[in-house]
Amino acid sequence: MPLQSPNQDLENERLAIKYRPLLVLYPEIGDGSQRREHHHPDYGFNQPPLDQDYHPRDIRFVLDHARLPGKKERPSRDHLLDMMSENRVSHIDIIDSGGPKEIDKFWLVYAGIHNKDGNPEYQKSAYVRIVRGSERFEDYLSIQYWFAYFFDDWANVHEMDWEMASVILKKTDSAEEPIACVFNAHIGGFRKPWKDVHKADDAGKKNPDGSHPIAYVANGSHATYFSDYPPAFSVAAPYLGPTLQQVIRITNISKAHMDYVPSFENGVTCFPEVKMIPRPDESGRWDGDWRWLNFRGKWGSPKQLSLMETIIARIPGLRKIHPLFQRPLREAGPTGPNAKGLCWENTFAWINLECFDAPTTCCWIGQLGGADINEL
């Protein structure tokens, strides 16, 4: 694979900084002992179950708190990177083995690491990759911003979290023109024309002529949305058939799968530090501090099934339905950016074939249950 010229590297960095999203997040957890209970059965639609959250940080923050499977002691960062780079392990443990056992432990550990913003290795960051299209997409660029979160505390619970926001540009003879954005949100990606995306200027102020898309990050789940929707909404409701929508409404599963997004005025806004992902070598591998990109395994422990879950997992059909009625759902950690299939390997085909158009309406709960959004 040919190396990029220094001029191309500088151009890539210019584009990445010019179009980096302005993140709107819940305040970062300050004291883990003060965390509100996310999974309390009495939380309501008008009140998010979490009032604080994790923010995306340099991957070194995760690496420095990870362990190899079955090991109690943390390895050196270099040893961990070696094992991950050679894919000698199928996953890494962030804190617990066998999936998160004590959710509060993650919050206490994270909150107990003080002065994260003052540590140059733990900055709020985005890992940036610029994809240049070919053939019928040769006039287009996709700037992918990958965010690494320490923990996912939502309807599903798992160690570590990778999310992504991207800006699509069309090249002209003299410049580039932004034409769309794609944000990751649970079931895949949502795409939206640039003209309809909320934007900010370099000062972080809302500005329709700004070059920075505003990315609203959901509480606990870190899914990325185009707007500060109503206080709570069902993530997948617009894409489900009428029968399944009714099942979700009657059983109240929708309450367990609500996302809560901060408003621009009340959220914490930040421009993440841009970290440009270098091109791999001719064999498609990264070296040095970027060895983690060779890892194909899970960034977090796989869940450890209870006896009941083990039995249910052996019953065809039931094993797929049963988890929908439980909360939290404990899942394995996610794969890294380079193991995201079509999203990484054929970006424009992924945008074309697998991403959904962002809903034109905000009243997702209203669509689901016939409610007036003003009553929620």
Write out the chain's pLDDT in tens, 376 residues: 444 567 889 999 999 999 999 999 999 988 776 666 655 555 555 566 678 899 999 999 999 999 999 898 999 999 999 999 999 999 999 988 887 888 888 888 999 998 899 999 999 999 999 999 988 889 999 999 999 999 998 877 899 999 999 999 999 888 899 999 999 876 678 899 999 999 999 999 999 999 999 999 988 889 898 986 554 555 555 544 555 455 545 444 445 567 788 889 989 999 999 999 999 999 999 999 999 999 999 999 887 666 665 665 566 555 455 444 444 567 789 999 999 999 999 999 999 888 888 765 443 333 333 333 233 3
Query: What letter does residue 20 receive in the DSSP assignment?
Result: P
Q: State the CB neighbour count (10 A cutoff) for residue 173.
A: 4
- Please name the amino acid found at residue 39: H
- What burial class does residue 267 get, using C-beta atoms within 10 Å of its C-beta: 0-12 exposed, 13-18 middle, 19+ buried? buried
Do 104 and 32 meet the contact criterion of CB atoms below 8 Å apart? yes
Bridging pattern class, strands 156-171 and 140-153: antiparallel
Do 196 and 361 meet the contact criterion of CB atoms below 8 Å apart? no
Helix runs in the chain, H state only: 6-18, 59-63, 77-85, 103-112, 242-251, 253-256, 307-312, 318-321, 342-345, 347-354, 364-369
Do 58 and 289 meet the contact criterion of CB atoms below 8 Å apart? no
- SS3 state at 99: coil
Query: What letter does residue 341 receive in the DSSP assignment?
Result: T
Token pair of 225 as six digits? 């949305």
CA atoms 234, 365, 197, 170: torsion sign: positive
Model's pTM, two decimal places?
0.86
What pLDDT was estimated at residue 153? 87
Cα(122)–Cα(120) distance, rounded to whole angstroms? 6
- SS3 state at 165: strand
- Please name the amino acid found at residue 233: F
- Give how far the C-alpha of residue 45 lies from the chain's centroid of Cα atoms, to the nearest Å: 23
Give first-to-last CA distance, the chain, whole Å: 54
Do 67 and 92 meet the contact criterion of CB atoms below 8 Å apart? yes
Strands (DSSP E) found in the chain: 22-25, 91-92, 125-132, 140-153, 156-171, 176-184, 189-193, 199-200, 212-217, 224-225, 233-234, 258-259, 268-270, 273-276, 298-299, 329-330, 356-357
Do 122 and 60 meet the contact criterion of CB atoms below 8 Å apart? yes
Query: What letter does residue 371 receive in the DSSP assignment?
Result: -
CA atoms 330, 235, 275, 111: torsion sign: negative
Token pair of 112 as six digits? 């107990």
Cα(94)–Cα(159) distance, rounded to whole angstroms? 6
Token pair of 149 as six digits? 């979160």
What pLDDT was estimated at residue 73? 92
What pLDDT was estimated at residue 41? 53
